Structure 1
Amino acid sequence: MNIFRLAGDMTHLASVLVLLLKIHTIKSCAGISLKTQELYAIVFATRYLDIFTDFISLYNTVMKLVFLGSSFSIVWYIREHKIVRRSYDKDQDTFRHVFLLLPCVFLALIINEKFTFKEVLWTFSLYLEAVAILPQLVLLQRTRNIDNLTGQYVLLLGAYRALYILNWIYRYFTEPHYVHWILAGGYLVEFASKDYKCTGQAYMPL
């Protein structure tokens, strides 16, 4: 594992911890898009189907479990926690995320590395992750009420994707035959889609 991937993983983990800190300690999800969190839960659920069948390393398995558990925990907090859900701005978080899901399903079916069940779902998760942040950005743009933790969460997500782009570039030049255009394209689309004014397999990202 190179330094860019490790730094990307740690930055991704930090973004999740910042969000959980906000929800658990402040008992508030103000400024957080449930739609984005549901999309991330779908991303991890479809990407990590191999968690109990293909062992890569202890690190890889632990990180997958952390991201799966944290993403579904966040969704549960916003939907079900008696105190936290009161702060959820349902009237502003109205992005129709089904319009993101359907194109990603279609693309995964026609553009993939191999037409198998796991590979198509893994490819779908890449496409979906590239656009999952959009409901969050729309919500922040509408409310204009951005606290420090929410801003840090969005910035950390952006840093995570930037570091993974560097990881891909590094591996392209240092590992023979390492080319994964779907993966790289997903990173670039997601990184480009962020608005920072808001202040399995060996090649698989977590």
Structure 2
Amino acid sequence: VFVFVLYVFIFSLCTGLSLRSQGLTALFLAVRLFCSVFMEADIHTMLDFASLVSTLWVIYMMWFKLKATYVKELDNMPLYYLLIPSVVLALIVKPYTHYGFMSEFLWAFCSYLEAVSVLPQLRLMQNAKMIEPFTSHYVFALGIARFLACAHWIIRVIETRGAYLYIAGSGYFWFPVAFLAEMVQTFILADFCYYYVKSFMAGQLVMRMPV
């Protein structure tokens, strides 16, 4: 998010950026921040707040100041494909806490939505076929971050011999499904990372997406 802020601020461009993906990011950050204030209120709360403010600024710039450089025709992934499944899954599988149903539902919803929030960005790049270096660097960095987060989950599961998936009081299916959501997000970005590395090794500054 902060990389996007730097890009928009320095170059005054939003070419190659998905407004829909930024909107989903703002939504899950806002929901997670709301839950975090009541459930955790730690350093992660401050980081979520800073990320949300930065994302909202990027959205404002894309929608008003830099609208001429935003390619709306390529950013065409229907959001209900992502929102409706996230809501339904959050109603079915959510953590069990003493904070009540709404907090449990919202926490699950933002976790599932985060897993698929990058899809509109990938769809835009797929439509554009040609990806600017800055955008490709950002998405690759996001992929590496998700890979490390997924690796952290796997290590914790191995260290606890599977017990980490069934933490008492968190719902029998919650951690396995949350872990699956983390895996889904990782695999969504894995394909892009493959083509990024392939283009980088070939010395291509502008990345080409497969048809």
Q: TM-score, normalised by structure 2?
A: 0.79
Report the AA paired with residue 120 of structure 2: P
For structure 1, which runs of at least 5 residues remain unmatched after alignment? 1-15, 200-206
* In 2, Cα distance between equivalents of 1:56 and 1:94: 36
Q: Which shows bigger deviation, 134-143 or 59-68?
A: 59-68
Equivalent residue letter for 1:181: P
Matched, 1:169 2:149: no
- Aligned residues with identical type, % of pairs: 30
Give the superposition deviation at 1:61: 2.7
The separation in 2 between residues aligned to 1:51 and 1:183, in whole angstroms, is 17
Verify the 8 A CA contact 1:19 1:149 in the aligned structure 2.
no
Distance 1:136 1:68 in 2: 18
Does the CA contact (< 8 Å) of 2:2 and 2:51 recur in 1?
Answer: no
Matches within 5 A, 1:2-81: 16-57=1-42, 59-81=43-65
Higher relative contact order (CA 8 A, sep 6+): 1
How far off its partner does 1:174 sit?
Answer: 4.0
Q: 2:83, 2:113 within 8 Å by CA — same for their partners in 1?
A: yes
Which amino acid is the alignment partner of residue 139 of structure 2? V
Return the offset for 1:175. Answer: 5.5
1:51 Cα shift? 3.7
CA distance in 2, matches of 1:61, 1:111: 24
1:122 aligned residue: 107
Q: Work out whether residues 18 and 152 of structure 1, in 8 Å CA contact, stay in contact via their aligned partners in 2.
A: no
Aligned residue number for residue 186 of structure 1: 181
How far residue 178 of structure 1 moved from its aligned partner, in angstroms, is: 2.2
CA distance in 1, matches of 2:46, 2:117: 23
Q: Which runs of 5+ in 2 are unaligned?
A: 166-174, 197-206
